[in-house]
Amino acid sequence: MNEPHKLTATEAAAAIRSGDLSSETLVRACLERIAAREAEVGAWIHLDESIAFAQARALDEALAAGETPGPLHGVPVGIKDIYDTADMPTQLGSPLYQGRQPDRDSGVVELLKQAGAVILGKTVTTEFALNHPGKTRNPQDLTRTPGGSSSGSAAAVADDMVPLSVGSQTVGSMIRPGSFCGAFAYKPTFGSITRRGMKLLCRRLDHVGVYARAVEDLALVGDAIMINDTQDDDMLAHPGHNLVAGLEKLDQYSPKRLAFVRSPVWDQADEDAKRAYEEYARGLGDIIGELDLPPEFDRALEDHHVILNSHLAAVFRREYEETPGQLSDKLKARIALGIPLAASVLVEATDRADERRRMLDRLFADYDAVLTPAAPGEAPADLTTTGNAAFNAIWTQCGVPAVSVPLLEGANGMPLGVQVVAPRSRDANALAVSRWLWRMKKSDG
Amino acid sequence: MNEPHKLTATEAAAAIRSGDLSSETLVRACLERIAAREAEVGAWIHLDESIAFAQARALDEALAAGETPGPLHGVPVGIKDIYDTADMPTQLGSPLYQGRQPDRDSGVVELLKQAGAVILGKTVTTEFALNHPGKTRNPQDLTRTPGGSSSGSAAAVADDMVPLSVGSQTVGSMIRPGSFCGAFAYKPTFGSITRRGMKLLCRRLDHVGVYARAVEDLALVGDAIMINDTQDDDMLAHPGHNLVAGLEKLDQYSPKRLAFVRSPVWDQADEDAKRAYEEYARGLGDIIGELDLPPEFDRALEDHHVILNSHLAAVFRREYEETPGQLSDKLKARIALGIPLAASVLVEATDRADERRRMLDRLFADYDAVLTPAAPGEAPADLTTTGNAAFNAIWTQCGVPAVSVPLLEGANGMPLGVQVVAPRSRDANALAVSRWLWRMKKSDG
């Protein structure tokens, strides 16, 4: 088999199940791709070939011995370094956690292992999954940011180093890097994936998400990890969305009615990106209409930062007071914004966010999905920033499922994602619309 | 039938179903009891005999016409005046809302009507269900407070004016008045009953609860109103606890292991109440052990007030600034405590409260139920206070089901409730233990 590291997770899992490919061969191909590219891309913070090969060989042997394979049997996955791993350090992108070795796997890593995945290594996160960048560069153009905070997870998948990876999103940390690097990024409905053993910044906003190179792969890994965990208080009672079955059922589906949403931060988009998004929406013809969000959404971004910064002032209170030299200036600036905020201001911002979530449920009822920019433009040619998350805050705050589909190109030929958003718990719809758009692009191209 | 207003709701519903009693007769008996006592007790803020009779007659006619009766068919219920009613004013115990007429029933009133209940009238609440008392007196001793904030709901049921009533609890507003007045009070697991159309003080802490004169009645009304409402974001996915069936199944049940919890506020109890509770626990013999809450619970009450006061500063910001003369001094003092609190302090208090909730799930795993004081003593002989809610905050904060059972008497012959607490969603257990304790008292007496 030629270049197995370029297979999608769905293809790789099928080839392993059928005996056409071994997990060991696949892992070796991924590690060779990483060896060739890592010095430039810098997607990984911890790689342990021996642990990866040991997992792969054990899975190959289990299959040979007749064991029923899990849905991800033998497929390697990269894990953002904010999720605890019992056999690899978890350092949170911070010097304060250098060399830290958890004694237990996080919930999502446990579920991936149960599904048969190989945990290939830990991917670079920005400092505490916030704004201060790590070493990762954009694999499409090494002078550009990969976005953040899930920098390594997005870059590794986009660069064919691994077919799947796990990231997280509190503002725009999944969708924006997906758009910048040209990977499929999926932030599910709030409460779909356990956050146990992940560094929590803000219970109200933190989501687990996944990267892949095909919509089907998002469904495959999603089904494997959307399982209830009583140790995450915010999980849905029924977090599974039957994504693989949903996509199969919707194989011939085409959406009846889509909406194009510019959103209140439209002015923050680059001119060429605005043109590209508007042209794309126009090209979809009669099935798409324009939806203007009501004025209650105008303050969504501001409220988002009130909620997040309040939590950062609490979560990092001790570090800010005792070891400020170990925190980045960007993080300290956010904490400094959070400290003077009044509790009643946080309550009001949270109440408005909750009200927006209810409003969106009603606004979306008429549409199969909503299309909106995944990012304000191409990845900036600046490695000191991770770019602007303004186009992601509303959808994170409202807990709706969002997918970044690498459908467009910017003026410099860099990828530009279209963000597909569906009502809460209609994750299968978000994926079905994403696949439909992707197939159209392929048949056009 | 003699004195139908003294029937329990379960007895009354059965008599109505069998044709031995009409709803009209029952409503008339309740109104006569109210007419005889209301001048002294002051449990009601709005009573409309014509609306009550119209409902009762319509229900009697429906039954005569062969309609299948609901579980509360023809049974009158009193509604705390913080729940919206479309045909009666809802005034929240505040001059700011004098004469306010909502145009839609609250969720709980809708569900009660669907179950066949007669909405008899609105009961007195303290100002905004907080600390400033209304006109209600304790029916057992008119010089004493009925407790609050569900003052009228507790007094009306204890005084045989109505067999059932709805109240609410944010700190101790159900359990404490139940103890003071000698009614059965039930605050279910957090998220069991919709709060749509109720004046929300604090999403994290507000609970709907019910009063009755028998444990079976708490189950009867509980089953009727524990139904999902997508408009209350905090509802459990499966809010029903099958209480009537659970009690029937557990009819011969006796608990294997109970715990007596003094809790960190034990010092706030009166000496005679301490003696009465300790003696009662000792009298239960070998099945009860002592459980000390770990030190993480020491700050529970303080955190509770941080959370609540932060929310009050937000909820009443406009009234505090624009119409302070219309707010009681007690409410203004709470708001004044809430205003200077920092957002990060609220985040930390909420995180600790959430952690206590998880801890309690583990601590309670070994017990059928936990017994603890419902109040620090008898109702104070002071109508300017509603008493001390210190013994209720932990259980409210942790969202566990709690029942006040009028098992004891204080030194002055006033009722003293034993609070029966069970793990979250084990509401049927809390009721079964309450019934078991009540039956023991009856067989002793």
Contact B346 A343 (CB under 8 A): yes
Distance of CA A220 to the CA centre of its chain: 15
Residue B154 above 90 pLDDT?
A: yes
Q: Answer yes or no: are the C-beta atoms of A186 and A241 closer than 8 Å.
A: no
Instruction: State the CATH number of the domain containing residue A151.
Output: 3.90.1300.10
Residue B445 confidence (pLDDT):
59
Q: Is residue A255 part of a domain?
A: no
Q: What share of chain A is helix, strand, coil (3-state, %, to 5)?
A: 45, 15, 40
Are A345 and B314 inside 8 Å of each other by CB?
A: yes
Beta carbons of B314 and A354 less than 8 Å apart: no
pLDDT tens per residue, range B176-204: 999 999 999 999 999 999 999 999 999 99
Question: Hey, is A47 helix, strand or coil?
Answer: strand
At CB < 8 Å, which residues of chain A contact B? 203, 231, 233, 236-238, 306, 310-311, 313-315, 317, 338-348, 351, 354, 357-358
| All residues at 6 or more sequence positions from B310 whose CB lies less than 8 Å from its CB, including other chains | A343, A344, A346, A347, B338, B341, B346
B344–A354 CB contact, under 8 Å = no
Q: Minimal Cα–Cα distance from A324 to chain B, Å?
A: 18
Tell me how many residue pairs between chain A and chain B have CB atoms under 8 A apart.
82
Overall average pLDDT of the B152-181 stretch = 98
Burial (CB < 10 A; 0-12, 13-18, 19+), residue A229, is middle
Distance (Å) from the C-alpha of residue A174 to the closest C-alpha of chain B?
25
For residues B365 and A97, the model is more confident at A97
* In the predicted structure, residue B335 carries a pLDDT above the cut 70: yes
Flag whether pLDDT at B44 surpasses 80: yes
pLDDT band at B237 (very low <50, low <70, confident <90, very high): confident
Q: How many whole angstroms separate alpha carbon A129 and alpha carbon A202?
A: 11
| C-beta atoms of A344 and B306 within 8 A | no
pLDDT, tens digit, 9 for 90 and up, residues A262-302: 999 999 999 999 999 999 999 999 999 999 999 999 999 99
B contact test, residue of A204, A308, A346 with most B CBs within 10 A: A346
Strands A164-169 and B207-212: unpaired
Chain B residue numbers with beta carbons less than 8 Å from the beta carbon of A314 are 343-345, 347-348, 351
Q: Which of A344, A358, A361 to mutate to test the interface with B (most CBs of B within 10 A)?
A: A344
Q: Do the Cβ atoms of A175 and A263 come closer than 8 Å?
A: no
Task: Give the residue among B443, B290, B300, B425 at the shortest CA–CA distance from B367.
Answer: B290
Count each helix (H run) and each strand (E run) in chain A, helices first: 15, 11
pLDDT mean over A424-432: 97
Residues of B in contact with A231 (CB under 8 A): 358
* Cβ within 8 Å, pair B340-A342: yes
Give the integer Cα–Cα distance in Å for A382 and A181.
Answer: 14
Rounded distance between C-alpha atoms, residue B66 and residue B61, angstroms: 9
Q: Is B68 exposed, middle or buried (0-12, 13-18, 19+ CB in 10 A)?
A: exposed
- Annotated catalytic residue within A149, A153, A165, A263: A149
Tell me which chain B residues have a C-beta less than 8 angstroms from the C-beta of A423.
none
B217-229 in b/e form (b: 16+ CB < 10 A) is bbbbbbbbbbbeb
Nearest to A344 among B233, B236, B314 (CB): B314
Q: What percent of chain A has pLDDT over 90?
A: 97
Please count the structural domains in chain B. 1
Per-residue pLDDT tens digits for A189-202: 999 999 999 999 99
Which residue of B310, B316, B346 to mutate against A (max A Cβ within 10 Å)? B346
Query: What average pLDDT does this structure show over B379-400?
Result: 98
Chain B residue set in contact with A, beta carbons under 8 Å? 203, 231, 233, 236-238, 306, 310-311, 313-315, 317, 338-348, 351, 354, 357-358
Q: How far is CA A10 from CA A14, A16, A75, A76, A193, in A?
A: 6, 10, 9, 12, 20
Rounded to whole angstroms, the Cα distance separating B45 from B155 reads 13
pLDDT at A444 over 80: no
Contacts of B238 in chain A (CB under 8 A): 237
CA distance A438 to A423: 20
Domain membership of residue A20 (yes or no) is yes
Chain A closest-CA separation from residue B344 CA (Å):
5
Convert the pLDDT of each residue in B318-329 to its tens digit: 999 999 999 999
A313 CB neighbours in chain B (<8 A) are 342-344, 347
pLDDT score at A445: 59
Q: What average pLDDT score do residues A169-195 get?
A: 98
Give the amino acid at B139.
Answer: P
User: A330 catalytic, yes or no?
Assistant: no
Q: ipTM of the predicted structure?
A: 0.93
Give the pair of three-digit tokens for residue A111: 């579920």
Listing DSSP states for B24-83 in one string gives HHHHHHHHHHHHHHHHHH--EEEE-HHHHHHHHHHHHHHHHTTPPPPTTTT-EEEEETTB
Which residues span the domain enclosing A174? 4-236
Residues of chain A contacting residue B346, judged by C-beta atoms under 8 Å apart: 310, 343, 346-347
Is residue A320 situated within a structural domain? no
Return the closest-CA partner of residue B178 out of B200, B204, B209: B209
**Within A84-242, where are the H helices?**
107-114, 151-158, 175-181, 215-225
Helix (H, G, I), strand (E, B) or coil at B289: strand
> Measured between CB atoms, which of B233, B237, B343 is closest to A346?
B343
Could you tell me the two tokens for B138?
């304790």
d(CA A236, CA A190): 8
How large a percentage of chain B has pLDDT more than 70? 100
Å between A404 CA and nearest CA of chain B? 27
CB contact set of A251 (below 8 Å; sequence gap of 6+):
none
Q: What is the pLDDT of residues B249-302, one digit of tens each?
A: 999 999 999 999 999 999 999 999 999 999 999 999 999 999 999 999 999 999
Beta strands in B291-401 (DSSP E): 369-373
Name the residue of chain B whose CA is nearest to A357's CA: B233
The conformation of residue B126, written as its DSSP 8-state character, comes to -
Catalytic residue among A151, A173, A310, A328: A173
pLDDT digits (tens, 9 = 90+) for A105-124: 999 999 999 999 999 999 99
For the four alpha carbons of B186, B187, B193 and B195, in that order, the dihedral sign comes to: positive
Q: Is residue A406 part of a domain?
A: no
Give the tokens for residue B415: 């009722």
Interface test with A, best of B194, B316, B347 (most A CBs within 10 A): B347
